[in-house]
Structure 1
């Protein structure tokens, strides 16, 4: 820690010394990044908080088959993929201990709440083609976005604001086939955009197939000089295999195998362990300037899904309907010379699930175990104030009021010691405050600090488990986050940095416990965690010269240090207090080098070092550290003035490392390992025409 502290102080001192020669032309050279943040829509240099904007070239900068590449370049963020399409997202370790899915992170797509009312997010329904940029908020953002200790992801669809059509294709190892198409049409008062993707892969492991089709139609319509309508329609048909975890011996002997079976449990192949989800989403947003000082943005949406999950131990079928909306009023005013913006709004979501669990009869739904009708209601009200104080201080203060209710009606049960009837869980209302302050010393340096409170109630999968338990005693995780950071640039070097340090204290941690019904896990609240961290991101534009052969050479670097440990944590009679938090790597480094030439040739090279990860609460089993190298070369050119060509080829896992990109934590039977693919390749071609 002493060396890190010295480094931070040195960086800050050098930045102060360099201010005099950086103020005048910095913004013109490096541009000004505007972020949504906490509904502020302002420069990141004036926004208190750990916020990163991932531009389109990073979202799709590697193989375009998943969002892992772009998001994993952000310090403090880790996306695991235990099989193609099986995402698990963690911001500052928020979700890696979850046995499945995306939880504890609030996600919006085109201003639509993409996170379900229970807190789970089917992020794998979206393709890279459905994202132009991603904004990442690290740390609790509940003062304006509700539940989620990890933070928030704000996703926006692709658009070009010009008439164009295009198509692309990609092929690669393990049967990879990918086809895309898009079209955008400008109107006198707006535009339409259509995006389509079709992706198939057999997978490196047995039972790791992947099939997904997405079709998206978005529109923007300027009704008049004060009103704008935005529409979003998404259809996604997703089916992927879940090969399951392996023991260390199985992992070493044959990492490509799926989880074997035994006399009591089917193998993943016999059970056809997989996820199938077909979803249609429709949303509409209305922006209106009510007066010169007051404006409103309101979003309404609805979602319909069919969900099936054959698993080694059971077979789950759900029919899901959900919908809701989000509205916020903005009031901009001045108190003397002090600019102030008030944001007040609310969000409401409701869902209705018909959820049935069966025995798995060799990949088919067998005897019914239980049949539930589930209703979920989630709501929040929020108020946020931004004040531009004298001497370039910027204050943000927010507060939200949150409620969540589960109503479960067990219609049928064939489980031993189980009964039918109604179970209701209304979580205690949560009041979530946040306050942040920025001091902007110049266009090249700002310091920020914040204190925020967060909470994360259990998802419906944790409240109502696959083996039939209903966890009425389960409560929300709660925590307080303290954070300070610095952002700055050295104009002469074309170098920028973003440094954040934080301490997060989490109570009522939700942990996994063995089940008495021979299934995966059940959940309970126990203990607490102390989480200290340092996150650093830098960007060095080494060469920027459009008249030379080598036009651009950019180097990005991110470093994450997470010192997370249990406090007062006992399980099964053992004391794990002081142990490292399961599933979190202490050190992670991601660095990328991107080069572009005048003839059109380009190259991307990425290196990822991930430290050893504790795989169980006892810290008796660790994954090996690994060094992952990814590369892509290509040729991009404008032909005939309006035809754009992009041909590329890439290699993933260039060093042929044996590693797990995702792990099963505290796994029953020590099946911790979900092996990633060895060295593999991909290549593709994209063509677009400006009309």
Structure 2
């Protein structure tokens, strides 16, 4: 495992950490999405919004649940390259999970090792090419016009391991006005390998077009779950994304004790998004319009040195590193109308350049100081700077000149500590504690809750203190068992002040508390039979007062449940996957009810769903053929797949589809050298 900087078996880490392989996240699927891949991980809530314009909702122990789009409050990496920007805003839409080898999920206090916005850490690793080159093609189809196709070339040629992939997916969507298309490219090259050196080059690209059906109010959600509100048709809210990025990682063993690793990356992302904002609101002098045109250039560097003393009776490992990440964006806002025409680019209402940099220094130590004890310590110093240069000056909106430029800086030191006790060869007890923080993203400071123009520079970072106690057991015939209890207290929690037509503004709450437990069990039997269960309880509440705000709904009361966070989650899966022939599996989940706003005025009801799949795998000579068919929500339950937190118009609910099907076929052939 690499999620804690020191490569250690997860059984020895004083943290809740899980590694998912293709058998867990891709069984019975041809091209899995993030919601499907992560839905069975303990402590992780992965919600498919059935809205490709807003991406998947991901949260870990409640961190990230407030996100109006993309991923928030978590750190995401793809092949070691950050998919989380220096301000904390992340995306996972560019990750090609069909070619992934494993997904690591780190929960709890030790996530703070990764600095800002690390309520949890998700790392996705593309499979390394090996053996003779193999060419693969897959084709899949499903309900609601879903179509997918992928082409991959993987193997080793002239000393270069390669995994090259192209993919295309599209669909009409479960709901009205939710059609979408996505094209992906992904490449990983491993080369220059010798006894003490290795290079890895990764690159990927994304093209996305998606319409936004918006949320539904309670009455319409109950009666017409596949519908969209009239604003979705009149303003045609939609999003287009183009993204390219690349990164290079070099690892070198300096001697028997020392290793040096350096990573550099860069990329750009262009987003155009049309929102469903009323014309009158867009005409206000301080409005930024209803259409966003955002171009981001980003890049960074991470260098770390590690030293191991493993030849004595008390092994010691030390890692020290520096990290720098930078982001420059050109943000423009236009009206989403021109004359009487709605849903078109109109007059310019916002023009600014924003810059964010993050500079981190970190140190981690792991020491087996006694025969049965080991100690892990971490320290990270983080500095985040944000600045905005306003190019659209409107007198009266930001001082006498209308200049809404501004700058801010956040500094913090994040300590972490963990202790492991080896009870026996198959049993570990551990304890961990850490401090974390989460700075507001550029998007979160982009709009003021009172509707005035300019940045919301009064928004403060959220700061947290976390503790965790856990047990890990490898119980032979009983399988693998892991359990943890945890508690996190956060002050100045960043919460949604209002969410109108796709535009969200944010504020600081007084304090919040998250406490609960998680339990995971898995076992494998001869012949390809496996089972796993993950369950958890999370009590996430406001624990202190909240400042007044300009417009409802934003009044938080002590004791109210954090919106978007279910109290109970249960996942269970049983799969039979022999090396050849018939395969089959069944998955069941239950998700507790989730509040829709800070006032707890309504909630999405708890639900249970059942999925099942069957397939056939045959290998003959250089050929491999695999086919599958699956049914999701086999019992045809009606429920809200996700909620839009604090949606000001009361359109909180995003319905999940009823019973739906998918099927696919893949063919691959080993090529001659």
Using the size of structure 1 for normalisation, the TM-score is: 0.89
The question of 1:244 aligning with 2:214 is answered yes
What is aligned with 1:228? 198
Deviation of 1:423 after TM superposition, in Å, equals 3.0
1:82 aligns with 2:49: yes
**Mapped partners of 2:311, 2:480: distance in 1:** 34
Contact map agreement 2:128 2:162 (CA 8 A) in 1: no
Note the C-alpha offset of 1:69.
2.0
Distance 1:179 1:435 in 2: 46
The yes-or-no answer on 1:679 pairing with 2:664 is: no
Q: Match for 2:490 among 506, 509, 513?
A: 506
**Distance in 2 between residues matched to 1:226 and 1:199, nearest whole Å:** 40
Structure 1 residues 37 and 353, CA, compared in 2 at 3 Å: closer, same or farther? closer
Residue equivalent to 1:522: 505
Q: State the shift of 1:125 in Å.
A: 2.1
* Secondary structure of the corresponding residue to residue 42 of structure 1: coil
- Deviation of residue 427 (structure 1)? 2.9
Does the aligned pair in 1 maintain the 2:410–2:439 contact within 8 Å? no
> 1:123: which partner in 2?
92
Answering whether residue 18 of structure 2 is matched by residue 48 of structure 1, we say no
Tell me the equivalent position of 2:3: 37
What does residue 566 of structure 1 align with?
542
Q: Which moved more, 1:267-276 or 1:228-237?
A: 267-276
**Aligned partner of 1:487 among 463, 466, 472:** 472
**Paired residues of 1:427 and 1:475 also in contact (CA < 8 A):** no
2:287 equivalent in structure 1: none
Is the Cα–Cα contact under 8 Å of residues 603 and 632 in structure 1 kept in the other structure?
A: yes
2:394 & 2:181 partners in 1: Cα distance?
34
Mapped contact 2:381–2:412 kept (Cα < 8 A): yes
Distance 1:613 1:133, change over 3 A: same
1:59 Cα deviation after fit: 2.2
1:347-426 to 2 correspondences below 5 Å = 347-361=323-337, 362-413=342-393, 417-418=397-398, 420-421=402-403, 423-426=405-408
Question: Which position in structure 1 is the counterpart of 2:285?
Answer: none
Contact 2:96 2:184 in 1 (8 A): yes
Aligned pair in 2 of structure 1 residues 489, 225: CA closer, same or farther (>3 Å)? closer
5 Å matches for 1:168-247? 168-247=138-217
Q: Distance in 1 between matches of 2:669 and 2:84?
A: 35
Counterparts of 1:431 and 1:91, CA distance in 2: 22
C-alpha displacement of 1:147: 0.9
Q: In the aligned structure 2, how far is the partner of 1:598 from the partner of 1:581?
A: 45
Inter-CA distance 415–617: structure 2 relative to 1 (3 Å threshold) = farther
Matched residue, 1:272: 236
Match of 1:451 in 2: 433
Deviation of 1:628 after TM superposition, in Å, equals 1.1
Tell me if structure 1 keeps the 8 A contact 2:544–2:558. Answer: yes
Alignment partner of 1:254 out of 201, 224, 227: 224
SS at match of 1:57: helix
Q: Of 453, 461, 482, which residue of structure 2 is paired with 1:476?
A: 461
1:29 aligns with: none
Q: 1:192 to 1:601 in 2, by over 3 A?
A: same
2:630 is matched with 650
SS of 1:144's equivalent in the other structure is helix
Q: Distance in 1 between matches of 2:123 and 2:253?
A: 23
| Aligned-partner SS, 1:463 | coil
- Corresponding residue for residue 315 of structure 1: 291
Structure-to-structure mapping, 1:560-599, within 5 angstroms: 560-570=536-546, 572=548, 576-596=557-577
Task: Check conservation: 2:355, 2:388, Cα contact below 8 A.
Answer: yes
SS in 1 for 2:36: helix
| Distance of 1:46 and 1:407 partners within structure 2 | 42
State the secondary structure of the residue aligned to 2:658: coil
Seen in structure 2, the aligned counterparts of structure 1 residues 288 and 616 have a Cα distance that, compared at 3 Å, is same
Q: Name which of 445, 448, 457 aligns with 1:463.
A: 445
Higher deviation after alignment, 134-143 or 321-330: 134-143
Q: Residues 508 and 685 from structure 1, CA distance in 2 versus in 1: closer, same or farther, beyond 3 angstroms?
A: same
SS at match of 2:315: strand
Report the aligned-residue RMSD.
Answer: 2.0
1:126, distance to aligned residue in structure 2 (A): 2.0
For 2:110 and 2:210, the matched residues in 1 are separated by 32
Cα deviation, 1:43-89, whole Å, max 9, x if unaligned, reads 11111101011112222124334121221111110112222432121
CA distance in 2, matches of 1:189, 1:175: 42
Q: 1:413: Cα distance to partner?
A: 4.3
1:341 aligned partner: 317
TM-superposed deviation, 1:131: 2.3
Distance 1:74 1:461, change over 3 A: same
TM-score by length of 2: 0.92
Q: Distance in 1 between matches of 2:425 and 2:274?
A: 55
Pairing partner for 2:255 from 270, 291, 296: 291
Deviations 1:512-562 (A, max 9, x none): 2249x9984422112111111101110132x31xxxxxx232111110101
Confirm or deny that 1:667 pairs with 2:650. no
- Cα distance in 2, alignment partners of residues 492 and 593 from structure 1: 17
Structure 1: state its 5+ residue gaps: 1-34, 261-266, 545-550
Q: Is the 8 A contact 2:15 2:109 kept in 1?
A: no
> What are the superposed Cα offsets for residues 145-170 of structure 1, whole Å, 9 maximum, x if unpaired?
11124111111112341221111000
Deviations 1:343-373 (A, max 9, x none): 0001111111111011112222111111111
For the pair 1:60 / 2:42, whether they are aligned, the reply is no
Structure 1 residues 354 and 436 mapped into 2: Cα distance closer, same or farther (>3 Å)? same
